[in-house]
Structures are given as structure tokens and as C-alpha cells.
Amino acid sequence: MPILNAPPSASRSLRVLARLLEYPDAALRENLAAMGDALHEERALPPQRLTEIDALLAALGRTEPLDAEADYVQLFDRGRAASLYLFEHVHGDSRERGPAMIDLAQTYEQAGLFLAAGQMPDYLPVVLEFTSTQPPREARAFLGEMAHIFNAVFAALQARQSPYASVLGALLELAGEKAQPVAPQAEQPIDESWEEPAAFDGCSSKGQARADQPQPVRIVRKAAQTGVIS
């Protein structure tokens, strides 16, 4: 007997949304049609949201590659308002961020998954790839814990009239929440916003060596020690 009110499986949709939030490199652009097909086949998202994401896919397909890449860097890597590193929104550069990173990485490991070298556990595409491996009810609950962050990023993207807002709206819906933009906080100047805290001894607070380089997501099953969840 099916469980009443059980959320539908959204594992494929979560993987597509994770990939959509990554740097728009050539590999992503080559798979735009397949990504759209996967979303429509799984039907985990409402029709209106699918229409919006279709528009994002179309925009990425027709935009000149260098322009799409520059737009991505400007949108997600210039300040905190739309940062895809979730603990930037919760802990900023405080000392609490380090232990939170460790706790999240341990959550992945307890599920038999581990991060490849250089990946940050709070990077949203990584979080979504992990979530895609969980049963539907647990996945929805896990997303629900982050809904307030999704809303903040959703608001920042809407304020910039970015079609990427549709992805955050989709995540809120998969979390069983309604997309309700919140007033974005005033941002610090970029130099201050990304200033390195002494507590981390100069390690990159953005979790990547160069913001204009693609950042592939790799969460690998611990038993295998190789490969990429697809």
C-alpha cells in the first residue's frame, strides 16, 4: 500500500538541477536537451516551473559560451547574496564554518559517499547530488532544512532578473515549500566580503582555486573508491 502524502522520487531532477548550477562549460551545453528531457520524464516539478527551467536551458543554449561563463561568474562568484556555498549564508567567515563543514562531510560519509579532493561539502551542487541518493521522504526533509537559504538566494537571483532563479524555486518546491523571496541583505564590498579569515590559515573561502574555472561535482561511493555518481 502506498504511503499517503509520500513525496515523489526526484533523484534525476535533483541531479539535473545540481548540474545546472555548475559552471556552464562545453560539457553542460552539450547536454542541455538531455537535461530538459530528464526533468520532463520524471515530472517531479510542476508544469510552470518546468517551463521556466526550459527557458533557462534555451538561454544557455543560445548565449555565446564566453558570455554565459562570464555571466555565471558575475552572478554567483561576486559577493555573498547569490553564493552557492551554503555556509556563506549561515556562518560567513566565522570560526563556526569549519566545524559545520566537517559535520556535513561526515553526513555524506555515513551514507557511504565521500568528496573528491578539492570539493567543498557546502557547495550547493554537491549538496544536491548527495540529496539525490536519499529516499524521497529523507530528501525532502533534508532540503527543507535549507529552505531559508534557498529563499535568500532565490530573492537575490530574482532581484537580478536571472533565469537561474527558476532552479532555486524548483528546490523550494521539492522541499515542500513555497518560493517566497525575502529582502536581501546589503552586501559588503567584494574585497571585504571575500577577505580570508585567519582561522583558516588563508585557505580559499570560496572552495575553488579560480572562480572562472569549471567545478565538477564528484561524490563517490565509498565502497568503490572510483567513479562519479551520475
Q: What is the pLDDT of residue 92?
A: 67
Which one-letter amino acid corresponds to residue 42? Answer: E
Q: What is the pLDDT of residue 2?
A: 44
> Which residue did the predictor score with more confidence, 141 or 196?
141
Percent of the chain at pLDDT > 90 equals 61
Residue 86 maps to a domain: yes
Q: Provide the pLDDT confidence category of residue 196 given band limits of 50, 70 and 90.
A: very low
CA distance 182 to 25: 31
Domain housing 151: 11-181+217-221
> Which residue did the predictor score with more confidence, 199 or 99?
99
Q: Is the pLDDT of residue 165 over 90?
A: yes
Out of 49-58, 149-158, 179-188, pick the least confident.
179-188
Q: What is the pLDDT of residue 219?
A: 62
Residue 6 maps to a domain: no
Residue 200 maps to a domain: no
Total count of domains within the chain: 1
Residue 190 maps to a domain: no
Residue 203 maps to a domain: no
Q: Is the pLDDT of residue 42 over 50?
A: yes
Residue 158 maps to a domain: yes
Q: What is the pLDDT of residue 198?
A: 35
Residue 210 maps to a domain: no
For residues 59-74, average pLDDT: 96
Residue/partner pairs of 159-163 with CB below 8 Å, 24 or more apart: 159/184, 160/75, 160/82, 162/75, 162/82, 163/52, 163/55, 163/56, 163/59
